[in-house]
Amino acid sequence: MKADIIVDLQYGDCGKGKVTHHLCKNGDYTHVIRYNGGCNAGHTIFHEGKKFITHHIPAGVFFGIKSIIGPGCVINPDQFFDEIAELERGGIKTEGLVYVAKNAHVITEDHVEEDGKDKQIGTTKKGNGPAYRDKYDRKGLRAEDLPCFEEYLIDIYEELHIENNAIALLEGAQGFGLDIDWGDYPYVTSSHCTAASALLNGIPPQAVRKVWGVAKMYETYVGAKKFEPQDEVFKMLRLVGQEYGATTGRPRQCNWMDWNLLEKAANINGVTDLVFNKVDVLRQVQRWNILDNKKKVQFSSEEGMKDWILTKTSSFPIKPEVYFSESPNFI
């Protein structure tokens, strides 16, 4: 088999859904697999003139590619079936295309209720953390335990390694800055958001062809910690960039790109291809800044900022192919 991996290099909301959609449209994939997180994810996708927001279901479904919620995910049955219905209403065929790994764990009503009481971390209150806790405490429910999932269940080992000469695209959720090990603990998510996490969904390391890193030309964050400096420009960024959570609707805090975080994320994930989204937002705001070693580097033009980024990435141990994107629809 062969596999490509998509990973967010910041705090989520960087456009992974758009990149997945683009690669599905132009690639050779037989499967698309969500490899971490649950319905706390919100991937915005523009397909044939319509806007869709997916929380569980991978973007392969838009192109008739078999789409699997992997064993590294936790799944809310109600959200899953609501999403199926929403896609069908939007003209997207799901029958025979959407599957759930039989060993994926389930988010229960009790998990959602417990998560709803959080006031410290600023979670999406979707029940992910309690569901993962019960998984590792070995008392959780798996998808194979619920009759409602019966027609959607799949054995991911048999599917990828025995029955098919698979070419898989692994679609991640959240971002490196929220990873439970590498993020700003305790202000992190409950899953692993790295390329290594994708391998836990039945992918042998030698199968990986590319690791696509996704970032924005600035940063956003949703959660309890203080992230946004006092400056009117960040309110403008939020307005122009439409920076409101796809899952919660909460306004995202904005800041300039932290280059040290991005470099660390790119190196740890072994990024081979690096997409910077929302070039057009900085162009409208007419401010081009980056934080490097906590100091603001100011540029007089978009081209100056791009040249600086290209020079910096050329010194990475794995020199990535760099793309600057200014469209919500394609790279």
- 263 domain-assigned: yes
Q: Which member of 21, 22, 31, 43 is catalytic? A: 43
Look at the alpha carbons of 174, 180, 181, 185 in this order and tell me if their dihedral is positive or negative: positive
Q: Which member of 4, 8, 13, 258 is catalytic? A: 13
Of 164, 147, 58, give the one whose Cα is nearest residue 155: 164
Give the range among 151-165, 206-220, 250-264 with minimum mean pLDDT.
Answer: 151-165
- 329 domain-assigned: no
43 is catalytic: yes
Beta-carbon contacts of 209 under 8 Å, excluding residues fewer than 6 positions away, are 2, 3, 4
Q: Tokens in use for 228?
A: 């946004």
Write out pLDDT tens, residues 57-104. Answer: 999 999 999 999 999 999 999 999 999 999 999 999 999 999 999 999
Q: Evaluate whether 30 touches 43 at the Cβ level (below 8 Å).
A: no
- 276 domain-assigned: yes
- 105 domain-assigned: yes
DSSP sequence for 96-151: TTEEEETT-EE--HHHHHHHTT--SS----SSHHHHHHHHHTT-PPBGGG-GGGGG
| Cα 180 to chain centroid, rounded | 14
Cα–Cα distance for residue pair 208/204, rounded to 1 Å: 8
155 is catalytic: no
Write out pLDDT tens, residues 9-37. Answer: 999 999 998 999 999 999 999 999 999 99
Q: How many domains does the chain have?
A: 1
- 33 domain-assigned: yes
Boundaries of domain holding 313: 2-324
Cα–Cα distance for residue pair 41/242, rounded to 1 Å: 17
Cα–Cα distance for residue pair 325/264, rounded to 1 Å: 22
- 10 domain-assigned: yes
| Domain CATH number, residue 15 | 3.40.440.10
- 330 domain-assigned: no
Q: Inter-axis angle of helices 259-269 and 302-313, to 10 degrees?
A: 40
Look at residue 266 in the predicted model and tell me its pLDDT.
Answer: 98
Owner of token pair 């569980």: 56
Per-residue pLDDT for 42 more than 90? Answer: no
- 51 domain-assigned: yes
